[in-house]
Amino acid sequence: MSGRFRKDPDPRFWRINRSLPFDWQLAAYDIDQSQAHARGLMEIGVLDAAELAEIDAGLERVRARMAAHGFQFEDADEDIHMAIERLLGDEIGALAGKLHTGRSRNDQVATDVAMVVQAHSLRGIELCGETMAQLLALAESHSDWPMPGYTHLQRAQPVYLGHHLLAYFWMLARDVLRFQFALDSAGVMPLGSGALAGVNWEIDRDSVAADLGFEHVTHNSIDGASNRDFLLDYLAAASTCAMHLSRFGSEIVIWSSTEFGFCQLDESFSSGSSIMPQKLNPDSAELLRAKSPRVTASYATLLGVMHALPLTYGKDMQEDKEPLFDAIDTIEACLDACAGMLAGIRFDRARMAAASGDEMLAATEVADLLVRGGVPFREAHGIVGDLVRDAVDGGKALSELTLEEVQRRSEHLDASYYEVLQRSSWLESKRIAGGTGSAPLAAQLESARETLAAVRARVGERRS
C-alpha cells in the first residue's frame, strides 16, 4: 500500500491485474532501457557519475539474480518494472528510487515492447533467410525434375520441382519485407513521453534513443504513450508468414501420402503411431499447417484490444504482451522447424515424373498450337475439350487418337499435334520470364541467390 490507498488489492482483482506472470519476459529489455535512462539522467545532473556507476552495477546484479537457478519473484511484485525497481533497491538502497525520475510506466513499457519487436523482427528476418536458403538449395538440385502442377488439387500443367519450391522462397522474401517494416516501425522510441504529456526533465531523447538502438524518437507524447502499431505490424507480418508456412506444410502432407508418394520427410521430423508400426506420419508439416491460426488469433486479439480505445493509456493495453510473446514463440519455432524439415526431405523423381507424364496436362499446349494456326483461343479451347472427351470416351491417350480423329475436330491440326504431345515441349515452351522453362528458371535461381545474399547482409549489418 502507498499514496492514497489504505487497502490491499482484492485477490480477485490482483489475479487479473498482475502482469508479472507474462511480462517477466521484458526483464532484459527493461534493464537495458533503465541503464540508458540512467545515463540520460546523469547528462542533465539528476545523477552524478558515482551514482550512475552504482545504479549500473546494481542493475547488472539484478540481471544476474534473475538469471540464477531457482530465482523467484515475490507475490507482491505487480509487474516486471516494479520487480526490478524492488530488486535494485535490495542491491543499492534508496538510490534506486532516483531511477524513475523522468519516466512513467506508460512510456517505460511502450519502450520495452518496442525493443522486443525490434529484436524479434530481426530474428524473423534471419529465420526466413535460413528457410529460404534450404528452399534455394533444393530448387537448385531439383531444377530439372518434372512434376505436375495443380489447380483445385487437380493436375493442371507440368512444372519443374525447382520452380514449385521457389514459389515458397518468394513468399518468404516478401515476409522479410514485412518483418523489416515492423522493425522500422518499432524503431521510434517512446521513452520521454511520460504518462502522456512528456516529462519535466529535459533529457536528451535522441542520445538515449541512439544508446538503445532506436532510429528516431516519437513526435507526440500522447501518441508515444498510446501507440502499439509497431506491435500490430509485427503480428501482421508473423500472421502472413505463418499462413505461407501452413500452405507449404499442407502440400508436404499431401505429397508425402501413399497416394502421391512425391516425397518423404526424414524420420527426425516425423512421428509414428501408437498402434500401427508401419506409419511414418508428417507431423512436423501438419503442425506448420495448424499453428498458423494461432498466430493470426494473436493479431486479432490485439486489434480487438486497441479497437476504439480512448487515448492515451488504459489497462486494456496490458493485454498486448501475451499474444505478442505467444506469436513470437510460435512463428520462430515454425520457421526453425521448417528449415530443419527441408534439410532432410527426400523427393521421388520417378513418382513425380510418372504423374507429370499424363498427356492430359498438355491440353493447353494443343490449344496454343491451334492459336498459332490462327484459331481464336476460345474456339481452340473448345476444340481441345472435344479431343479430350474423345480420348476419355475411347479409353485412349491424346497421342493415341488417329490423325483422322484429330482433324475431325479441326482442320488446323496436322502431324505437329503429336510433336506438341512430347513431354519435353510441355515444360520448355514456358520460356517467358517467371515461367517454369529451364532458361527462365535459371534466371530465377540467380535472382533468388541475390535476394538471399541481400537478406543475409541485412541481418549482418543490423547485428553489427
Do 380 and 253 lie in a common domain?
Answer: no
Query: How many domains, the chain?
Result: 3
Burial classification of residue 347, based on how many CB atoms lie within 10 Å of its CB (0-12 exposed, 13-18 middle, 19 or more buried): middle
Domain final position from 330, 349, 368: 349
Q: Is residue 308 part of a domain?
A: yes
Per-residue model confidence (pLDDT) at position 373: 87
Q: Is residue 379 part of a domain?
A: yes
Q: Is residue 455 part of a domain?
A: no
SS3 218: coil
Catalytic residue among 257, 273, 416, 425: 273
Do 157 and 136 lie in a common domain?
Answer: yes
- Distance of alpha carbon 232 from the chain centroid: 13
Specify whether 69 is catalytic: no
Asked if 36 and 208 touch (Cβ cutoff 8 Å), the reply is yes
Per-residue model confidence (pLDDT) at position 274: 62
Dist CA 61 CA 52 (whole Å): 14
SS3 219: coil
Per-residue model confidence (pLDDT) at position 218: 98
Looking at the chain, the whole-number percentage of residues with pLDDT higher than 90 is: 80
Do 111 and 177 lie in a common domain?
Answer: yes
| Domain limits for position 421 | 358-428
Do 96 and 207 lie in a common domain?
Answer: no
Specify whether 34 is catalytic: no
Asked if 107 and 191 touch (Cβ cutoff 8 Å), the reply is yes
Do 15 and 84 lie in a common domain?
Answer: yes
Q: Is residue 6 part of a domain?
A: no
Dist CA 80 CA 83 (whole Å): 5
Q: Name every residue whose Cβ is closer than 8 Å to that of residue 271 and which is 6 or more positions away in sequence.
A: 281, 283
| CATH code, domain with 281 | 1.20.200.10
Q: Is residue 435 part of a domain?
A: no
Do 184 and 241 lie in a common domain?
Answer: yes
Do 188 and 298 lie in a common domain?
Answer: yes
Q: Is residue 462 part of a domain?
A: no
pLDDT, the chain, mean:
94
Catalytic residue among 69, 152, 219, 307: 152
Domain final position from 301, 318, 349: 349
Per-residue model confidence (pLDDT) at position 263: 97
Do 298 and 165 lie in a common domain?
Answer: yes
Per-residue model confidence (pLDDT) at position 189: 98
Residue whose C-alpha cell reads 517467371 in the numeric block: 434
Do 47 and 121 lie in a common domain?
Answer: no
Do 144 and 245 lie in a common domain?
Answer: yes
Per-residue model confidence (pLDDT) at position 187: 98
| CATH code, domain with 40 | 1.10.275.10
Distance set, CA 290 to CA 165, 273, 349 (Å): 21, 19, 28
Q: Is residue 442 part of a domain?
A: no
Per-residue model confidence (pLDDT) at position 279: 67
Per-residue model confidence (pLDDT) at position 397: 86
Q: Is residue 438 part of a domain?
A: no
Do 207 and 254 lie in a common domain?
Answer: yes
pLDDT in tens, 184-220: 999 999 999 999 999 999 999 999 999 999 999 999 9
Distance set, CA 113 to CA 31, 210, 306, 325 (Å): 13, 17, 15, 10
Per-residue model confidence (pLDDT) at position 76: 92
Neighbours of 70 (CB within 10 A): 4
Do 341 and 202 lie in a common domain?
Answer: yes
Q: DSSP letter at 309?
A: P
Q: Within the chain, which residues score under 50 in pLDDT?
A: none
pLDDT in tens, 309-320: 999 999 999 999
Domain final position from 331, 349, 367: 349
Residue whose C-alpha cell reads 501413399 in the numeric block: 258
